[in-house]
Amino acid sequence: MESGMVSVDRWCAGSQVYFLTHLHADHIRGLTPKWTRGPLYCSRITAKLFPIKFPGFDLSLIRIVEIGHWHSVSLLSPSSVSSTILYFMAIDAHHCPGAVMYLFRGEFGCTLYTGDFRWESTSERAQTGRTMLLKAMQDVKLDMLYLDNTYCNPTYCFPSREVAARQVLSIITSHPNHDIVIAVDTLGKENLLLYISRVLKTKIWVWPERLQIMHLLGFHDIFTTKTSVTRIRAVPRYSFNIETLEGLNTMCPTIGIMPSGLPWAPKSFRGKEKLSSESPPLLLDNRWHTDIATSSTSSKPNGGSLSSGRYDHYIYTIPYSDHSCFSELQKFVEFLKPTNIKGIVSSSASNVDPLYHFGSLCRIQQASELLCQRLKSKRYEKVGVIGMKSPFGCTSTMQLGRKRRKRQNFSASIHVSRVRLLRRERQGVKIVDTDPD
DNA sequence: GCGATCAGAT
DNA sequence: CACATCTGATCGC
């Protein structure tokens, strides 16, 4: 079976069907309102939010995938007149509203594409997903796992969102006379805001576009665009910085809360330590490893010990993440026992390569060998990783395709500058039709 | 000149 | 390192 027939979060020409995991910007790059390339499968919530992101989009192209149910579509093999049936199921990814993983089954085998996801073992929703996956794969092995490797390194260690939400709440209640601004994106972290609103019995300010999204999600009477009715505001992350906070503090005492799985360290501290699984550096904010909710009074902006006053004197970084931390990824891989794994997030470093950390959990014998090959061709990795967003990659014909593609990439790279190469993959240029790694 | 797309910053 | 997003520059028609 040829690949290039199915794309996930990838919007180049050449596929017969396209799957969208969720509506964050880095997953819809290349998708436009003028889309005509084929049917677009997504979750019901994503479909509901779709017109906001893509006004004028031809909605007749959208196919809703109900969570937990098998769907199927007949695909035509490009090289012959034969057709084959692709079966697929969406599973809640617990990332942002509408985010799903896709499980694919067909004559090519069984593939799971997680998209961005969080796998909190304590969460009831994750248990539901676990049950769905178990049932859907009870009679087969998982040939290929495309994994959200954003935090696929042991240094990324943070608590559940429930615990992090309590930390946020604790910081807010310990500043009863401050205005609070919380950095959020256009989608995601709603549960944190709902929790704050519920416990403190207060509305939360959001910007107008965000209010529209909240209403579409069914949250009425909780959010407002009137600044006068609340001291808590959720603001776009891009407008959240030291200067903004300093400006706000000239008018009213204000603290900022940055919910993120990343250690937002001061610039002066950043870049000096390189992430490496051999000698993982301590996170600058070691409180992440414990529950600071019980000791919030000792929490100072940016971890307290970082007293280089210029940097975010007013900002608290809280490890509230919609991506899985390392230990969750590990549990996920152990649970699925895939034959092979590939990260969906490109990286020039090996620190988040799933095979590096989880190769031994895979069924493949040659995990280290595969990794070795990959490290050798590290310069070209970005192209390979980005290019591989087709769910197919588990049959022997796919492996042939992979080898061919590697050669093509290599020879191309010789003559094209790295900048140009990176640029090409960013544009989503279809590198080859065969399975990209 | 304009829309699409990119690198860079946050 | 880099979450997801914006801004401003540049590309290509």
The chain-wide mean pLDDT, for chain A, equals 75
Strand C–CB A417 distance below 7 A: no
Q: Work out the average pLDDT over A115-134.
A: 92
pLDDT at A354: 83
pLDDT at A155: 85
Q: Can you give the distance from the CA of residue A24 to the C1' of nucleotide C6 in angstroms? A: 14
Q: Can you give the distance from the CA of residue A162 to the C1' of nucleotide B3 in angstroms? A: 43
- In chain A, the N- to C-terminal Cα span, in Å, equals 15
Q: What is the pLDDT of residues A122-131, one digit of tens each?
A: 888 889 999 9
Amino acid sitting at position A253: P
Cα dist from A147 to A178, A232, A323, A334, A335, whole Å: 40, 35, 11, 13, 13
Q: Work out the average pLDDT over A365-381.
A: 47
Write down which residues 23-42 in A have CB closer than 7 A to strand C: 24-26
Protein residue minimizing CA–C1' distance to B5: A427
Nucleotide nearest to A349 (CA to C1'): C1
Exposure string for A19-39, b = 16+ CB within 10 A, e = fewer: bbbbbbeebbeebeeebebee
Protein residue minimizing CA–C1' distance to B4: A30
Beta bridge partners of A256: A181, A315
C strand bases under 7 Å from protein CB: 1-7
CA atoms within 13 A on the CB side of A154: 10
Inform me whether the pLDDT recorded for A230 exceeds 60: yes
CA proximity to A381, closest of A357, A356, A364 = A356
pLDDT at A308: 27
Strand C–CB A319 distance below 7 A: no
Q: Can you give the distance from the CA of residue A55 to the C1' of nucleotide C2 in angstroms? A: 30
3 state SS of A132: helix
Question: By percentage, how much of chain A surpasses pLDDT 70?
Answer: 69
3 state SS of A250: coil
Q: How confident is the model at residue A419 (pLDDT cuts 50, 70, 90)?
A: very low
CB neighbour list of residue A8: distance below 8 Å, 6 or more residues apart: A18, A19, A20, A21, A102, A113, A115, A146, A389, A390, A391
CA proximity to A63, closest of A44, A88, A76, A83 = A44
Distance CA A118, CA A406 (A): 32
Helix ranges (H only) for A325-366 are 326-336, 354-358
Q: How confident is the model at residue A264 (pLDDT cuts 50, 70, 90)?
A: low
Inform me whether the pLDDT recorded for A31 exceeds 50: yes
Protein residue minimizing CA–C1' distance to B7: A423
